[in-house]
Amino acid sequence: MNYTDEDLEPDSEEELYRNPVFYEPAGKELALERADLGVPEVPDLLQQLLNMRGRVPVEKRGLVCPDCRKLRGRRASMYLVQRDGVWLASHYRKPGEKAISHESDEHMARKERVAKDSEDHGFHAEAEATTPDGRARLDVRITGDNGIILGYEPQLSDQTARSMRLREGFRRRSNVRSVWDFANPDHAGIGTVPYVRTPDLPASVIRVQKNPIEVRDGNYVVEEGHCTPGGSITRCPDKPFDPDNPIADAYCHGWHRILVPEHQSSTASDTGKPALTLTRFIVEAAGGARIPFQRDGRWGWLPADHWQRYLEANGPEEGSADTERAAVRDGDRRSMCTEDRPASDFRSEPKVRHLSRTVVLETREAAPSRPQPPQLRRDKAGYCMAGVTPCGEHARLYPGGWRCDQHRPGARAQATS
């Protein structure tokens, strides 16, 4: 049976805006945002491709997925779809067929593990579930308590920060609480979206449920106190960190209230505290015991009791509205690359190493100290030391400081009377 373009099942909205497409006759990827599709040597190429609709089978039009060929060694045909005047490429999929997967074995193992652990703790979990509006596909959709819908999203490939914000926007607009799981401590998505960071483990280890997967980052706590060597703040959050001299100028002697990752907090060295595992985190997040926050453009998670402290001290959550919700249709769709796709030149951006993830909520400067009156130094015999009061007489403490008998207040008047 020959299917027309209208009969085929298009990719989801999110997938459409991140799909690259390769044109075999020209031997290059197409730039669908350009009028000439990036192939000026073939005049009216777009019109030629559109004229094939309903006449030439999709698999013979020369449009294929470059990622399917690179990662899976397969030729996956594509066809053009229009959204709000923008031409995009979708995989060739008959009605009812499963979406094309670009996932690594480690990625699939994480999804399987979280789905099984969630089910074992009484929460319904479904892999590859779409959001109600169909704009995004969740790796694992977990139905939690009190209407919470949790989306677990392991992200093992490099992405740009802008790509992560746009992908998170699809989920937030569907009222999904995303848990993005990164293995790379320098991933651009860390702090850009609600996240956790776990070790980079092989699929065989992840699939064994009795093996704990430690959460190393993403879970924050509220701390406050004086910024002194003896205070409760481990290091001044307003001072830049020098990795070559980490204790230099580390305190401002003021007072701070901060959000700090638990592994960087003052209780991080508490060896008696059990390590937070990914299973426990997901279960508590689904149950409402861990809540995502956004502050100063930084995302993370807070335990429920710390969330209450955060609200009491700082009022309603900042950024509850998606202030960065730029329409994807007006953006660069090529930044929306699929999970585990290799980062190409146009998807890459300079990396910035994350040395500190602390978020400052409030800072109070140290109160200025009162100036002390100058005091004269004395030797062991009680005489003024040379260079300060060189008279060599005994010194006494007067309201204005230490003075020798010869220079004490009123001494000159007594001497002349």
Q: pLDDT tens digit string along 313-334?
A: 776 654 443 434 443 444 444 4
Mean pLDDT of the chain: 78
Q: Provide the Cα torsion 27, 29, 33, 38; round to 10°.
A: -30
Contact criterion met (CB below 8 Å) for 42 and 52: no
Q: Given a cut of 60, is residue 342 above it in pLDDT?
A: no
**In which residue are the tokens 């999970």 written?**
339
pLDDT band at 247 (very low <50, low <70, confident <90, very high): low
For Cα atoms 390, 401, 379, give the angle at the middle one, nearest 5 degrees.
Answer: 45
The β-bridge relationship of strands 28-29 and 22-23 is: antiparallel
**In which residue are the tokens 């956790």 written?**
196
User: What gap in Å lies between CA 400 and CA 80, rounded to an integer?
Assistant: 89
Q: Given a cut of 80, is residue 9 above it in pLDDT?
A: no
Q: pLDDT tens digit string along 63-107?
A: 999 888 876 778 889 999 888 788 889 888 776 666 665 667 888
User: What gap in Å lies between CA 68 and CA 84, rounded to an integer?
Assistant: 27
Q: pLDDT tens digit string along 254-302?
A: 888 888 888 877 777 666 678 899 999 999 999 999 999 998 888 999 9
Alpha helices, DSSP H only, in 182-286?
Answer: 203-206, 278-286
**In which residue are the tokens 């007594």 written?**
414
Backbone phi, psi, residue 304, to 5°: -60, -40
Q: What is the pLDDT of residue 402?
A: 63
User: Measuring CA to CA, which residue among 230, 223, 229 is closest to residue 256?
Assistant: 223
Q: Given a cut of 60, is residue 28 above it in pLDDT?
A: yes
pLDDT band at 394 (very low <50, low <70, confident <90, very high): low
pLDDT band at 347 (very low <50, low <70, confident <90, very high): very low
User: What gap in Å lies between CA 194 and CA 74, rounded to an integer?
Assistant: 34
Q: Given a cut of 50, is residue 37 above it in pLDDT?
A: yes
User: Measuring CA to CA, which residue among 103, 100, 150 is closest to residue 125?
Assistant: 150
User: What gap in Å lies between CA 339 and CA 354, rounded to an integer?
Assistant: 22
Q: What is the pLDDT of residue 14?
A: 64
Q: What is the pLDDT of residue 386?
A: 45
Query: Residue 130 to residues 52, 89, 338: CA-CA distances in angstroms?
Result: 31, 19, 15
Q: Given a cut of 80, is residue 111 above it in pLDDT?
A: yes
The distance from CA 194 to its chain's CA centroid, rounded to whole angstroms, is: 6
Q: What is the pLDDT of residue 27?
A: 93
379 or 417: which carries more pLDDT confidence?
379
DSSP-based three-state secondary structure for 415: helix
Contact criterion met (CB below 8 Å) for 248 and 105: no
Q: pLDDT tens digit string along 159-201?
A: 778 878 888 988 998 899 999 999 999 898 999 999 999 999 9
Q: What is the pLDDT of residue 100?
A: 62
262 or 394: which carries more pLDDT confidence?
262
394: CB partners within 8 A, 6+ apart: 382, 383, 404, 405
Rounded mean pLDDT, 48-68: 89
Q: How many CB atoms lie within 10 A of CB 25?
A: 11
Tokens of 409: 């207040």
Q: Given a cut of 80, is residue 239 above it in pLDDT?
A: no
| pTM value surpassing 0.85 | no
DSSP-based three-state secondary structure for 103: coil
Contact criterion met (CB below 8 Å) for 91 and 78: yes
User: Measuring CA to CA, which residue among 73, 51, 74, 67 is closest to residue 11?
Assistant: 67
Q: Given a cut of 70, is residue 61 above it in pLDDT?
A: yes
Q: Which residues pair with 220 in a beta bridge?
A: 261
